[in-house]
Each structure stands twice: as C-alpha cells, then as structure tokens.
Amino acid sequence: MKLINAHYRSIITSITRILNKPFEHMLNILVISIIIAILSSIFVITKSSRIWETSNINYPQIMIYLSQNAKQSDVSKLEVSISKFNQKLIRNYQFISKQQGLQELQQDQQLQMISSDVITESSNPLPDVLIVNTNTANPKLLSQLIERIGNMNMVDNVQMDTNYANKINDLINFIKYIATFLQIVFVIVFILVVYNMIRLQMLLRQDEIIVSRLIGASDSFIMRPLAYYAILQVTLASLLAYFLVNWFINFMNGLFSNLKYLFGNSFLLTNLTSLQLGQMLVILIIFTIFSVFLAVQWVFKHAHA
C-alpha cells in the first residue's frame, strides 16, 4: 500500500512537472523523438530491404546430378526429400530429365554438329538434373544443405557457384553490419541524452534532493519520480516519432514509386506498426531506467546530495 502510494505520488509529480513548463519539456521530447525516429527508421529500412531482397536478389542455385542408373521412382523419392526442406532454405526446384537435357543440347546450333553424330537417345551420357533455387546466402547453411543432399540416395554430384554465394552473402552482411552499428550508435546517443536530461533535472532540484536525503529519503525515493518523468518523456517522444516515421515512409514511398518508371523494380518501405512501436518502447524504457540509474548515482557521488 505504501509503495503504491509512493508510485502514485511520483507519477502525479512528474506529470505536473511537465505540465507546469510544457515548452521547456517540449524541447527534450523533440530531441528524444528525433533519436527514436532515426532508430525506428533504421529498423524499418532493414526490414523492408529484407523483403525486397527475397524478391529481388537471386540466391545461389544448387545443381544436383543424379546417378546414371537412377530410375523414375528414385527421382520421385528425391523430390519428396527436397520438398521437405525448410522454406527458408529452399524456395523451389526444377527437374530436368536426361531426355530434356539432350533436347536442349541438340537445339544448340554449335553443338548440334558433334552431338547428333555421337549421342543418340539410346546412348545419352547426360544425367538427370535437379536445379534447386535456395532462399539464403548464408555459406554455413548452404554447405550443410549441400552435404545433406550429397548423402542422399542416387545423388552422384552436387555443385554450387560458391563465389557468387559468397559475394551475395558479403553484401547482405555488410548492410546488416552498418544497420546494427548505426542502431548501437543511436541507442548510446539515446542513453546519453536521457542521462543528461535527468542530471540537469537533479541539479535544478538539488535543494529538494538534499533536504529529502537529510530527512531519510532512500535512493529509490529520489529516483522514482525522475524515472517516471523520463519514462513519460520517452513515451511522448515515441508517439511523436511514430507519426514522424510513418509520415516519412509515405513520403519516401511516393518518391520510390516515381523512380519505378526509371529502374523497373520498386523498393517499398513497410509502415511502422503500433505493435512494433510498443515493442520498441518497452526496450527504450529499459534503457531509460538504466540511464536514470546512472544519472542518479553520478549526482549522489559528485554533488554530496
């Protein structure tokens, strides 16, 4: 009951503080909302590019050469095994029988001359082939996949353009690293801004803090209203950022759809949903409490409060 009173009191205090000087606090909220907007933009852009990537990047192909004496039933079995793989690994596959292979070969003008004489239906040296379109560029997953396919019955040989796979993988990783790096940078900026805001608040309220401590206020008594104050600011800033980012997304998507006439395939940003906003807010509030804690400790240590 006492604790509920204390929390209730802290919330009321922090709301009145903001309402008493709305303009002063508006500036804080604006700065924080810009940081949150940048953070969520990075999130949206990486997410959208992942969607774009799956429909626009050609992931490596795996060629499965079947044994010469593979029968139709063996091929069916193999197809069943392949189709059981996860969607994240394999998008689809295509079967090219030895007869089809021969036909394609015979249609090739230059090869026609030699092939027609040497190769006939009855002495077709070509194997049946399964072409698998993968859904990933992760080298580790791909090599596992190749190994598992290679161990399957009637599989003679498995090949993949490793060089291409690595290039794609490097590109995707590079983008991921940049996004992660930027996110870390802006989370640190966020923590520093909240930290400084709280330190300033404490210096402005130094008398109150000193007197409270003298008459027995605990650290958490001092910290509680500051934490609520910061959480309130961050929540308001997040809402503002939500509107900012979605406005920005719609604006950019308008630009992209114009560019579509120039480049063909379009890049579209997905909107930030309210669920994502909620999840982000939870994480930001954890960071907020952490920076409030740091600020309070700093003031207690340096201001002899």
Positions that interact with other proteins (CB under 8 A)? 1-3, 5-6, 9, 207-208, 210-212, 214-218, 221
- DSSP-assigned letters across all residues of 147-170: HHHHTSTTEEEEEE-HHHHHHHHH
Nearer to other proteins, 223 or 280 (CB): 223
Nearer to other proteins, 3 or 262 (CB): 3
> What is the nearest approach in angstroms of other proteins to the Cβ of residue 179?
45
Which of helix, strand or coil describes residue 67? coil
61 pairs with which residues across the strands? Answer: 133
Instruction: Kindly state the helix (H) or strand (E) to which residue 23 belongs, with its residue range.
Output: helix 22-56
d(CA 233, CA 18): 9
> What is the nearest approach in angstroms of other proteins to the Cβ of residue 228?
14
> What is the nearest approach in angstroms of other proteins to the Cβ of residue 292?
19
- Cβ–Cβ < 8 Å for 139, 62: no
d(CA 74, CA 60): 25
> What is the nearest approach in angstroms of other proteins to the Cβ of residue 290?
23
Nearer to other proteins, 1 or 282 (CB): 1
**Rounded (5°) CA angle 162-53-172:** 55
Nearer to other proteins, 1 or 19 (CB): 1
Nearer to other proteins, 157 or 218 (CB): 218
Could you say which DSSP state residue 69 is in?
T
Nearer to other proteins, 12 or 30 (CB): 12
> What is the nearest approach in angstroms of other proteins to the Cβ of residue 13?
9
Token representation of residue 87: 């969607």
> What is the nearest approach in angstroms of other proteins to the Cβ of residue 236?
24
- Cβ–Cβ < 8 Å for 237, 22: no
Token representation of residue 86: 């996860």
> What is the nearest approach in angstroms of other proteins to the Cβ of residue 4?
9
The total of other beta-carbon atoms located within 10 Å of residue 138's CB is 18
Nearer to other proteins, 223 or 284 (CB): 223
Pairing of strands 61-66, 90-96: unpaired
Residue 59 zone, left/alpha/beta (φ > 0; ψ -120 to 50; rest): beta
